[in-house]
């Protein structure tokens, strides 16, 4: 099953994608996670994109499209995948249609005020991408990853200025992606403002519907 999660930063796409991917035993492919891993490992790609990520701008389409096209060709992605954070521009959406089949696109609807609360309290375990929230989804021990016990960090782009900028970029560049999929009937919407369990249950129902087609 090939699923896309789209919506503003902080809507909870990554949180839910990790859970659904684990249930379906398919990879959760987050372009943001891939870029951050490259930054941590100081690869050529990482050096190229660090400034862009820190400021909340988008990485150029060509580079991002090549990265995803390559990732989807790996053997673990042949039985399905969840794409989280891609496509983020209409150009990326058109390109994806050239090299992959998309079964369903899930739009995470949420307002800016809630997004700001979520991103302000987000903490991540850099090596795994595991995500917590200091209030809404806290780790067992504050500041440390549940599985490894390693410290959690706050993302550079979760600072207030970068959050504001990312919401602007979302409206300008990514909102048209939602329209793109809506036009041809591939879009389904979830109320992403619910608690995590509620969003997860809605996603399970969507997955079941796609499986029964
Ligand atoms: P995205 O991948 O869409 O940017 P995340 O999954 O990283 O968003 O979630 C952003 C923050 O909000 C994280 O700190 C996460 O723990 C928290 N979060 C995710 N889903 C919910 C939810 N339904 N209710 C409350 N907090 C949530
Ligand atoms: P995310 O983890 O999805 O919030 O993404 C973090 C950052 O990675 C974004 O603000 C962009 O700088 C970059 N990024 C992630 N996905 C894409 C994409 N599909 N196109 C361009 N830039 C992206």
pLDDT tens by residue, 41-53:
999 999 999 999 9
pLDDT per residue over 126-160, tens digit each? Answer: 999 999 999 999 999 999 999 999 999 999 899 99
- At residue 184's C-alpha, the angle toward residues 182 and 85, to 5°, is 50
Domain count, the chain: 1
In a domain, 57, yes or no: yes
Going by C-alpha positions, the residue among 82, 77, 88 that lies closest to residue 17 is 82
The catalytic position among 36, 118, 122, 130 is 122
Beta bridge partner(s), residue 5: 84, 106
177 within some domain:
yes
Q: Cβ–Cβ contacts within 10 Å for residue 160, how many?
A: 10
| Cβ atoms < 10 Å from Cβ of 41 | 9
Q: Please indicate, yes or no, if residue 147 is contained in any of the structural domains.
A: no
Query: Residue 202 C-alpha to ligand 2 middle, in angstroms?
Result: 25
Q: What is the pLDDT of residues 57-88, one digit of tens each?
A: 999 999 999 999 999 999 999 999 999 999 99
Handedness of CA 52, 171, 112, 198 (dihedral sign): negative
What pLDDT, on the 0 to 100 scale, is given for residue 45? Answer: 97
Q: Is 135 helix (H, G, I), strand (E, B) or coil?
A: coil
**Beta strand extents in 88-141 (DSSP E only):** 104-109, 122-124, 131-133
Residues with CB under 6 A from ligand 1: 9-15, 118, 121-122, 131-133, 136-137, 194-196, 199
| Domain carrying residue 44 | 2-110+168-211
pTM for the whole structure: 0.96
Residue 135 within any structural domain of the chain: no
Residue 143 lies in a domain: no
Dist. CA 170 → ligand 2 center (Å)? 10
CATH code, domain carrying 46: 3.40.50.300
The reply to whether 123 belongs to the active site is no
**What is the tens place of the pLDDT at every residue in 8-28?**
999 999 999 999 999 999 999
State mean pLDDT over 187-198. Answer: 98
| Residue among 36, 123, 130, 166 flagged as catalytic | 166
Residue 27 lies in a domain: yes
Residue 137 lies inside a defined structural domain of this protein: no
Specify the pLDDT at position 195. Answer: 97
pLDDT score, position 106: 98
Please give the mean pLDDT across all residues of the chain. Answer: 96
Q: For residues 125 and 149, what is the distance between their CA atoms, to the nearest angstrom?
A: 10
């Amino acid at each position: 099953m090939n699923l896309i999660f789209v919506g503003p930063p902080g809507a909870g796409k990554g949180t839910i994608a990790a859970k659904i991917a684990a249930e379906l035993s398919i990879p959760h492919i987050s372009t943001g996670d891939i870029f951050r891993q490259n930054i941590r490992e100081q690869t050529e790609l990482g050096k190229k994109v660090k400034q862009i990520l820190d400021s909340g701008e988008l990485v150029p389409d060509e580079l991002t499209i090549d990265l995803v096209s390559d990732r989807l060709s790996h053997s673990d992605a042949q039985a399905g995948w969840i794409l989280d954070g891609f496509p983020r521009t209409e150009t990326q959406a058109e390109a994806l249609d050239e090299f992959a089949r998309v079964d369903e696109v899930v739009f995470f609807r949420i307002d800016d005020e809630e997004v700001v609360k979520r991103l302000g309290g987000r903490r991540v375990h850099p090596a795994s991408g595991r995500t917590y929230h200091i209030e809404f989804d806290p780790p067992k021990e504050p500041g440390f990853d549940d599985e490894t016990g390693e410290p959690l960090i706050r993302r550079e782009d979760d600072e207030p200025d970068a959050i504001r900028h990312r919401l602007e970029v979302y409206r300008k560049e990514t909102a048209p992606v939602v329209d793109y999929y809506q036009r041809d009937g591939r879009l389904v919407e979830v109320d992403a403002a619910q608690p995590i369990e509620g969003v997860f249950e809605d996603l399970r129902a969507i997955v079941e519907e796609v499986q029964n087609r």
